[in-house]
Amino acid sequence: MSKRVADSCRRLPVWTLLLLLVLGLVGCASGKPAEEQLPADDRLERTNRVAHVAFRLGRYAQAASLYRKAADLAYERDDINAAVDAQYNAAVCLVRLDKVDDADALLRRTKAELARAGQTEPVELRLLEATVLYRQQRYEEAWSLCENIIFTVPESQAAQRAQFLRGLIAADQGDQARLRAAIADLSIPSDTIDGRLKADRFELSGHLALLEGRYDASVSDFVQAARLRSAGTDYRGTVRALSKAGEASEAAGLVSQASVHYLRAGRSALQQGARERARKLLTRSRALAYQAGDAETAREAQRYLTLLKESEPESASDS
């Protein structure tokens, strides 16, 4: 990898999950030794730089398109290493956009490219794959891959993210025993100042409290997790935590509070380009606000639903 791209990798952390939830660096997916790299190509580096900026600004659709273009430029010069990096980055963007099936297809291509080049799959790619499997509700496959990551690199940050992902899988399956074990395995010190680790702990604790029917505690934990995710610029994680706070509030019978949490989650998702998720959250917010007699929140949810509809791409004409 060129010095310029390597420096860019050090500056641009992009794995905040899941995941993502996913841990890694933009443009650092392949493991090819630096001495095997081709000379720098201005078009490729320029496209990657613009894509990095788009990603940092949360313009994930634009970033995904640019990374795909970078992959095409890399294939033009037969630079497999750069192509793999670009495809990996595009897959990260697709996960952020909730286009997990597209991300899955792109990851399969990337893994096949690595196999043809005789390169091993880096742990970052395996962690992203586990995240995609989780999002596709292929829980056992995701769990198995997480265990493989934890066994292979037990002291790494990737292993820590895999532990958190296992907790999310257990929560989705309603498996309290597995969830408690995942929380214990995280081994997060109670006095940690790492906001991401604190958010992990609050989020999994919120899931456990929800499963146990401790709804007030669950809401509190998810709200804390959302605050920490936002402070760490993990906005997809913010949406995830806020939507769970809405679910816990709804379970507690706090309909008006639930509508507000769903509104906050929905408008954040909309700004991130996760349109279908935004539609579901905002629609639920509006329905609960009407139920609670909260006209202002209902109007606000409707305003964003209208913006969502108005910004939909026009269908192709049949003529």
Residue at which a domain ends, from 155, 187, 219? 187
Statement to judge: residues 158 and 201 lie in one domain: no
Residue 243 lies in a domain: yes
Alpha helices in 97-189 (DSSP H): 100-116, 123-135, 139-152, 157-172, 176-186
**Range(s) of the domain holding residue 298:** 192-311
Statement to judge: residues 84 and 104 lie in one domain: yes
Q: How far is CA 52 from CA 27, 62, 100, 255, in A?
A: 9, 10, 20, 40
Residue 317 lies in a domain: no
Statement to judge: residues 176 and 281 lie in one domain: no
Residue 79 lies in a domain: yes
pLDDT in tens, the chain (319 residues): 333 333 334 333 333 333 333 433 344 455 554 445 666 778 999 999 999 999 998 889 999 999 999 999 999 999 999 999 999 999 999 999 999 999 999 999 999 999 999 999 999 999 999 999 999 999 999 999 999 999 999 888 899 999 999 999 999 999 999 999 999 988 766 677 788 889 999 999 999 999 999 999 999 999 999 999 999 988 999 999 999 999 999 999 999 999 999 999 999 999 988 999 999 999 999 999 999 999 999 999 999 999 999 988 765 444 3
pLDDT at 32: 52
Residue at which a domain ends, from 187, 211, 226? 187
Statement to judge: residues 9 and 158 lie in one domain: yes
Statement to judge: residues 277 and 167 lie in one domain: no
Residue at which a domain ends, from 131, 159, 187? 187
d(CA 10, CA 32): 17
* CATH number assigned to the domain comprising residue 283: 1.25.40.10
Residue 66 lies in a domain: yes
Residue 77 lies in a domain: yes
Report the phi/psi class of residue 294: left, alpha or beta, with left for phi > 0 and alpha for psi in -120 to 50.
Answer: beta
Residue 235 lies in a domain: yes
Statement to judge: residues 115 and 262 lie in one domain: no
Statement to judge: residues 201 and 182 lie in one domain: no
User: How would you write 208-259 as a 3-class SS string?
Assistant: HHHHCCCHHHHHHHHHHHHHHHHHCCCHHHHHHHHHHHHHHHHHCCCHHHHH
pLDDT at 33: 47
Statement to judge: residues 248 and 142 lie in one domain: no
Statement to judge: residues 18 and 137 lie in one domain: yes
* DSSP conformation class of 97: T
pLDDT at 315: 52
Statement to judge: residues 160 and 220 lie in one domain: no
Statement to judge: residues 18 and 47 lie in one domain: yes
Residue 319 lies in a domain: no
Statement to judge: residues 177 and 80 lie in one domain: yes
d(CA 164, CA 162): 5
d(CA 294, CA 96): 31
Overall domain count for the chain: 2
Residue 278 lies in a domain: yes
From the centroid of its chain, how far is CA 315?
29
Q: Is pTM, for the whole model, over 0.85?
A: no
